[in-house]
Every structure is written in structure tokens, then in C-alpha cells.
Structure 1
Amino acid sequence: MMENVLYVLDTGNNRVQMFQYGSSSEKKRDENKMVPSERPKVAIFDLENSNKEAIDKLMGGAVSEMLTTNFVKSNRFEIVERKELNKILDEQHFNSSGFVSADSAKEIGKLLGIDIGIVGSVSTLTDKIDIDVRMLDMKTGVVILATNKSVKNENKIRDAVSEIVMELERSYINRIGAPSAPTGVISLPSMKSLYIKWDPNPEEDVIGYNIFSSTSAEAKFEKVAEVNKNEYKVDGLNENSTYLFKITAFDSEGKESEFSDLVSVNTKKSPDFGYILNIKYKKLPKKVDFSWTNPEEEIVSSYQIYRAETSDGDYKLVGTSIEKKFEETGLEDGKEYFYKIKKVYPDGLASAFSNYFCCMTDESPNEIQDINAVSNLAKKIEITWKIPETDKDISKIYIFRSDVSGGEFKMINDVTSLRKKYVDNKLNDNTTYYYKLKSVDKFGLESVFSREILATTKDVPATPTNLFAESNLARKVKLTWEYNFMNDQKVYFLVFRASTMNEEFKEIAKLDKTEYIDQKLPDNKQFFYFVTARDTDDLASNPTDIIQAKTKPLPTKPSTLKAMERQPRKVSLVWDKNPEPDIDHYKVYKSKKSQTWYKSIADVKETTYTDDEEKKGLRDNTSYFYKISAVDVDNLESEQSDEISAITKALP
């Protein structure tokens, strides 16, 4: 399995360490792995015997020796000799057992120059042996990793210790590879909230930050939040109070940095007074639109806008804004309104009133007069108007429409004031529409609605009547209909056809007469038709009812064709008469071979025929083949009869 090399920057000791390691699933250690140029110094303390059975068997000391052997074999750490360690601990009156407090760990680490301490305990139970081991950072006293293994008997202890050492080594490497502590922390406090921001960590694999808080440096710092950006906002704080924060960074592997520098933040007191300067407003119809400036250092989340009828009147809240501008609508034109503003902070606290200021609405234009609408136009209505001469600054005309008198009028368009006409297109036929207009000046001020006017669009042509289709015609259908022409009305007619009721009808003819012959149709085929009328404005009537017709079928195939054989140099044919009353004649076909090409040799009126090749006579002892077809008065020819054959008489 391929091995890996890990380079670790140990900023606390100003050194770069290089570790070579294999897969985490490997159970055996590679004795030839590259070791760091300066190895961490590890002290392995005697593991504490947790019960009488462990004491009797001296299990703690035995497991400690196994830990020492495995750490030495790994060759990644500098191991303090246990006898020398115990000697120094005894001289300094330290406990050499598995219990080492955070304070004593830091003192021992400083005294002996130790980076890591291994402590723990062993318990011997009836059915298992429990081994608990902790890795300590001897500079801080912080537990880097706590792990344990359980084995069923003493023969398994050595394997369990090997696994523990591998896990501890990985934990230490991960700890060294953790992100750097966040820096550049700043805060922006408000009354009951504050905002903290810091520089993004330089490591590319940092995915988030942990926020810790306390009310004093001596109190415990509790984790209060986890964020994925380099900023944090906290609400619900007490105003004029001190809060302490520390921040750590963590990467995609779960490694966490050391704490950032301590950040002390004081929330603010409520402002004593709010004020506002530099009011700018627009004189607009039925509304005011104003903006302002005011110096402020604190974070403001929004502004509350209050209005009164007089400068010293009762100011009531009329709206809020997150920007330093506000628009209020629904006001009276040509009237003064008085305003005051309050700041609202992120914690919901509001300042005192600003100084008051005054805004005034504009007056609206006059109502549009002389408005008219033209009826009886195809799918459209034309509207004309005149603007009062007193209104010199009109910029637009708004067009409103409703489907019912006195109903809801909706704006359908606006046109420039230079125009005095508007055409409302794409309307329904024979429908009445209602209109009102408004004029708008260059400031956006609107007039009141004009009076209501109405107009009706042109009706569609009348529907053709008495549509009739004549069937049983040879390869054609004749259509006739009636139409009531009104007042020299000019219309033309469109004929539509389909082969079935389910398929799409297609236009087949456009004409100004009331009849049409649909020709070149297949025999014995049914067709469906309807007709519409269309005027010069391209308005189409409703379609007629759908009618159907069928073309004339071909005559039936002649039957019972017989031939008299063994006649001298001729063949006599006879067949049954066709049932159709309009059969005009029969065609006789002949061939010298069966099922090949047949040549027409005669047209006869009767149902008999003698083939003697026009008195010349046929060949003796020769076979001939015949077919018959029927042809009606419309020259429709039936299918040929079944083939028969006959042989002439042979010579003696």
C-alpha cells in the first residue's frame, strides 16, 4: 500500500515536522518510515490500577511498559525514559500515577520540556480488561484525545495497546495540522446587539468558525454559535454591558484551531435624542417623496416615519423605511403635511423624535373634456379627445377600459399628450366597451377620470343558410347555399372540407357565388363540408352546420362470364347484365397468356360478344384469355371481371 508524507508547521515551537505514515487501516508499523527532524517529546506516566484485581496483577505498570515500547518502535516521538521520569517526579514530589491534573501537567511539561503526556487507567473485570488512555498537551493541560479498548483476556492486551498508540499518533498529527487561530477580530456594538467580524482564515480547507462567549475573563467560555462566514451577529443582549468573545476555526477534517485573542465588547446605551438634517422632497400628486441625511455611528436597522396635520399636532406612525427616503401615497393634493423620524436599532430600540419638517403635495390637472368613441369598426374602437387649454404641462394620457358600465376600469395604455386619438385593437366582435381617460402632468400628477363613453365593435357577417350537398355524382360533390345580402354588403364565401368528422377541416375554395363544385374526388368516398361568409374587413361569420355527401361508386364487376370453346377460329362470350340502370356499355379485354397484360378489343352494348378478330378468324387450336368491365354513362369503369379462357377448334 502506498505510504504518505505529512509536513506539519508547528508554529508554537517554530519548527517544521515531517511524518511518513501508511493507511489508517494498516495494523503493522513500518519501521523504516521517515521521522521528523525534531520529534515531539513524550512522557508515559504509570497507568492507574482502578481496582483490586488490577493492583494484584500490576496491570497499570505492564500496560505503561507496552505503551512505551510501541511509541519507541514508531520512531516518531522522543520518549522520556520511564525510570528517569519517575525519578524526577519523585524528586519534585509529583504523582507518577495515571492521574495528572491540568495545572500539574503544565508544570511538569515546563520542568521536563515535555510536549505530550500519556496517562490513564486499567481495570481488570470478570469477563474483560478495560484500558483507558488520555493524551495531554503538557503546555496547556488540555486533553487532546481520550480513547479506550476492551479485551477478553491478557493475551489480547498487546494488540490493543498497539491500536491505541496508532490512534494517539494520528490525533497528534491532526492537532498539529489544525487551522491557525482567527485574527483581526473587530466588533460593532449596538444597544442590545452586536456584530463581530474577523479576517478570513488563510487555510483553504477552513469551513467554519465556533463562537465562544463569557461575561468575564475568569468565567467559563461557552460555545454559543457555529457559523460558516467570518462574521457573527448576536441579539438579545443587555444594553451598556460587557461581553467577552473568543473564536476558533475548524477545517473539513474537523480540526479546530486555538482560540483567537480575547475580544471585549460593551453594548451601548440608548441615544438621548435623535435628529435629522438636509430634507429634500418632491411636490407630487396625492403623495410625498422625501429623503434626508443625518450623521450616525451606530448601526440602524430602519427608520420610523410619523406624520401630523400641523407642526405641533399629534404625530402618528405612517410607515417604515430601511433607507433614508420615504414615499407616502393616498394624500390630498395641494396640502401641507408635517413629519418626524425615529431611528430603529437592531435590537428594536427606537430613538427620540427628530426635528419636524414639512412637505406639500401637488395639484392635479383638470378633467379631460370632449371625449368621443367611434362604433361599428372591425375589432377596434377609435377614441378622440381634447385637453383643456388651461393645462399646459400635460405629458401623457392614460386610457382605461371596462366591460360593463360603472364597472372596474383598468388602464390599457398611455399615449403622449401630442396625440389626440387612440385606437383600441384586437377587440371582440359585436361587443360594447366603456372608456375613461386621465391626463398626467410632467410631475406625474393625474387628473380625475373623464366621463364614461361607450362604443360597439362591428358584428360579423350573417351565417350562410340552407347548405346542401348533392351526392352520387361522378368524382365530384356539388354544394349550394343561400345568403341574405344586407345594404349592398360585400362578402365572399370560404368552403371547408374534411374526410372524417375527427380530422381538421381545410379551406378548399374562396368565391363570391353561392354554389361550388368540388371536383377530382375519389370514387365512392364520403366527405364533410361547411361554409362561412367573410366581409371586406376580414370578419368571418359563424360556420354553417356540417353536411356530408358521397361520390358515385364504380359499377359492380361483371359476373358469370362464360366462353364457348372449340369453335372454328372464334370464341363466343356471354355474361350477366349489371344491376346498375345507367350502364352505357361493356369493355372486352383479351390476352394470349393468363394473368398478363390485357388489351381492350371491343366496346359492346349487349352482354354477348364473338371474338373472330374482325372476320379474319382466330388461330386454330389456340387458347385465349378474356375479361369484361362495365362502363356507366359518367364513363366510370368497373373492376374487370374474373379471367376465363377458351380454345379454338383444332384442324382435322
Structure 2
Amino acid sequence: MDKRIIRILYVTTFLVQIASVFSVAQDSLHVEDQIAVLGNPSSDSITLRWAPLNFETWQKGNNLGYIIKRYTIIRDSSVILPAELQILNRVPIQPKALDDWESLVKKDKYAAIAAQAIYGDRFDVNLSESDIMTIVNKSKEQEQRYSFALFCADMSATTAIASGLWYTDRSIKKNEKYLYRVELFNESDSIRGSVFIGSNDSYQLPKPKELKADFKFPLVSIQWEKDVFGYYTAYRIERSTDGSSFETVSDNPLVTLSPGKTDQGRYEYASDSISIIGAEYHYRVRGISPFGELGPPSEVVKGKSTKSLSAVPFITEGEVLNNGVVRLIWELSEEENSSIKGFALERADKAKDEYNVVSKELLPATNRTFEYVETNQINYYRIRTFVLNGDEHVSPPYLLQLIDSIAPLTPVDLQIKVDEFGNVQLNWKENSEPDIFGYRVYRSNFSDEELVMLTGSPISTTSFADKVNVNALQESVFYSIAAVDRNQNESIISSRVKLVLPDKIKPQPPVFLPVKGSESGVSLRWLPSGSADVVRYDVYRKTSRSDNWIRLKIVETTTDSVFQYMDSHSESGEANAYTVVAVDDAGLESEPAAPVRGIKIDNALRPAITWKDYTINKEEKTLTLHWVYQAEEVTEFRIYRSVDSGVLSLYRTIEATTNYFTDKIFSAKQYNYAVLPVFKNGAKAKMSELIKVNY
């Protein structure tokens, strides 16, 4: 069920502020509430109302019941540490047994619906009996049971108590504030909801605000500001004919389901039907809280219902007959004749000028056409309708011109400016013809492309604002102007004016080709950027000893298909990272090319290790070799071995932190060993002297 229908408040902001010092309150905020709880304080008690937030929780609550835990948080304005816990009901609160509902059903229609929702074998909502609707009804039945049960509890305190959704705590003290927690009985999932409240807390139902009424026979449309704080779940509309004695317009309270986060959802709406035209009616609205309380009435609005036009007349046709006679035809439903006194035809030289009446007398309400002699070339007409209730309605202007086939001159002196955000401003010189109706603005992306009209209808000013995308790859656009007279004759389109757009698009990054390292340095090669406005490439290097990129070289663009640079200044054997950035003619830089690594090759051989000694353990039949080596950046030692006259080959690899090696040997054998250091930067060393051991 929608939380807006349940209308239950969550734990107050004050609880959030003190939750960090109370483990119980803190825990309650860390678990997402599945039961919404609202408290109503009074001088001697606190009443709780709660509502499960989904069908499954509601069904569990009906079966298991609810336990009310009360934590005393504040006493005499002081925080209690730890909070004092008291379980208010030892017997779980559950819906009344089916037999106990019988007496309630006879007195309370909401109790009847709630009992059916809780205990009924089938829950009908009287929809169509077609096959498809039967399937829909079956799939929605659980949600309907849940929704109607909670709605009825909101509408009736008696029903809420019988549904097991109500509890009154009469053991409160005025100097204390409590955290009430409503939990499912014996539920391991900790399904619960909380409210923080004290008997001294202010509790006053507000008046509905901004009540308005629109009286249009035979209906009165009423609206008022929605209660966004959840005080009310329904409303009662009250009407009076004398302004003092009010009665409800319906036996059923009004519940609206409009969304609360849109402009349309800001208001509640209702309507009432009235039977007497011209009679004065008074209206007010009162809210109904989840506790069944009737809130204070709103301010009273009043008005008289008069019959008005349901549509505005408009001129559909105008033509010039022989000898300058003008005929005008307008439309308005014949059903409106009984509400109309008559019509008047008005004329002006311009649409926004002052209009003069050309019909000498008020035209009958049955008229829909009028003829008279007109000598002006350009004419704007409108029909004024006089309604019996005193209203007047004016049709939109209608233009009627004498025949004119001469097009105006082409506009000149087109000036265009654009800012960095793509806001374009066009200005041009005003045409001198007296019958100019307006101008049309055209645009194209290329000089030879067909122009596209930007103005749906001619504009009356000599300026126009446009918006272009400066984040696209396009570098320029073209504009033209044409003038249009009142007979819709269009001038020749002006010559296109080119507008160069500000460059906001970064160029595309270049792409590296494989890197080659040699004794001379690191050879970098890359494919050019795909952007046509690139003017140079900046080459950067970062060493392994630093996080900073250093620009090495600026390479100007050429027509070459591959660009290259040789870094001959890097240290031999050191692995460096390289990247290239493309720079366009606006100074915009591309994203760096994907970094590559390169090493200036160091072919100088490092010295070999120095043998120290070796020892033989005859009992364990092992041989341990010892050596000394002082060079830096060694990553490992490779042990080479041969037995008797065998070929010397790689035998083991050990860490660089170890300067000895132990091997298993057998008697009557000659073992030959050599050691080769391996360096981090790829440098090479000499193979050690061969050490021979006979055993």
C-alpha cells in the first residue's frame, strides 16, 4: 500500500539527534522500519497507531500479534543512560476474533470491510468479470486486502482497535519522553517501527489552508493545500447556504491519491453539484486524522453559481466580396445561445492595437456571420461575446487582407555573435515596408547544405536568439534571414553569414606505435590525432623515481602519417614511462595517449660474483656454496650446474637477498657450479668462474 495513504509519521528529527548516545535509539535507526508508527499525546496518556508497510508484514502481524516496548529516554530534561525498557503488553496485540466483530459490523461500515479483508475467504472489489479481469483480481487480492484493511483503520478508531493497530499507554509521566517500539511478537527478523514522543509534546491538528472554490453551474470545484506532514488521511467537505449551519456534502470522507512531489500534487481537489443558479453557497473543509479525530475547519469560501460559456467563439473564415464587402463567419455551439446577450464585431490595424466596434448594433445571439464594407488593406477582426451573467469573451484576432503579391526586400546587415556557451545572438536592420509582418530565420551546418527554418512563424523583432552545441565537432554554422509581409509574401533569403563556433572539444589523443629501446635512447613513434585542428604534440616522460610528468619535446604537426621522437637523455637501463598530448589551435589539450614504457639499453656487463667458500655435510650429503656480491638492483641469482662431463645449464633461481646455495650431492661425482646475477633494469653481468667440487 502507498505510504501516502497510510499517512503515518516516522521517528522525529529530535530522536535522530540524540540517537548517537542511546544504543537502543541508535539501533532503531539502523534497521529500516517496516512498521510506520504515529503517536498522539495527551495529559494522561499517549495513544499509538501503527501500520505495516507491506502485505507480508501485515499478515504476520495478524498471525503473531504486536509487542509494545517503551524506552524512557528523557526524564526532567535529562538524558537517561542507559534507557529504561518496559514491555507494555505481555499478551500480543492481534485483531479481534471473528465472532467479536459481529457487534462492530452492525454499527461501523469500516469494521465490516476490515473484517472481510482480514478473515474473508475472498475479497471482491466488483470489477469486470472478464477472464483478463479475473486474473488481475486474483493477482491483486492480497494488496487489496491489505490496502482496504489499513484504510478502514485510518477512517475509524473502533476499526483500528479491533484490527490490532491501536494501543493507549496510560502509565506515562509528564516529565518523561519515550521511544515506543512496535515489534512483531517472536519475530527473529526484528520487524518493527518506532516513534519518539512525550505527553508534553505539542499536538494540534492544523486547519486546511488555501481553500478556493470555482462556481460554474452546475458544479463547484474546490481545492486546498495538501497536508504534506501527514496529519490527515481523509477530508470532510461541508456546505452551508447561510454561512453558519454547515452539513457534509457526502456520507463518505474524501481520500485523494494525487502524487505529492509534483506541482499538481500540491493540492487536494473535490467537487460538489448544486441545483440553483444564482444562489450563494458557503464551503469549508475539515481533516480526519489516523486517530479518527476531526480537525478544525478551514476558512470559509463562498460564491454564486452562474452559467457561463463552455467555449470561446472564434472566427473561422473571412473573405472579401465584390465592391470591398467583407464577410466574416465565426463558430460557437448553438447550445450556448441561451447564455448569450449578443455579439459585437471589432476591428484594428494591428493585432495588439485598440479595437473599434464596426457592427452598429449588438448582433443577435443566433448570428454566426456578418458583412460590411471595408476599405483598409490590412484588417484584424475579433468577436466579442456578451454573456447574460455579465461576462465578456473575446475571440483570438483574425487577419483579413486585400490581395498583395509583391514580396518585401531582402533584410540586410545581419550581425551574429556567439559566447563560449553556444548562445547565439542575431541582429539585422529593420525593413522599411509598412506591411512587414515579420522575419524568418534560417540556419545550416554547411555552406552548401539546405537551410532549415528556425522560426515556426515569422517573428516581429529584428533580433533572434539561438543555441548551438559547442561541444560537437562542428566548427561553424551559417545563418540567413527573410522578410515576410502581411500577405505572407516572403523576400529572397539573404546571403549566408558564417559563424565560427568557439572550440570546446578536446582533440583526440594520438596512438603510440611499438617502442624501441637501444643504446642511443628510446625511440617513440605515434599515429597522429584524428582531429583536424591539432597544431602540435607535447611529449612527456616520467621516471620510476618520480610521479611528475616532464615535457621533453614539442613536435609541430606536419602532413606525415607517423610522428617520432628519440629520447637520448634518459639514463641507461632505467625504465621510463612516456605519453603524448595533442594540442589544437584553440589551445585545448587531448587526453594523454595511453602511456608506454621504454628503456635505454645498457649493454655494459656488470662484474661477476666472487666465490667465498663451500662446505660439505657428509652426513646429510649436502653441499653449500657461499659468495659475495656488492652490485645494486639485483633481483635474483641464477644457479647453473653440471655433473661430471655434462652440459652446464640453469639449475635453480634464488632471491637476491641470499648469498649462498645448498644442493644435494652423491658420492663419486664431480659437481660444477656457476652463478649469474639478474638486474632489475635488464642489465647483464658476467657469469662467475666455474667452481668444481669432487665428492
TM-score by length of 2: 0.30
Q: Normalising by structure 1, report the TM-score.
A: 0.32
Q: RCO greater where, 1 or 2, for CA within 8 Å and sep 6 or more?
A: 2
Larger C-alpha radius of gyration, 1 or 2? 1
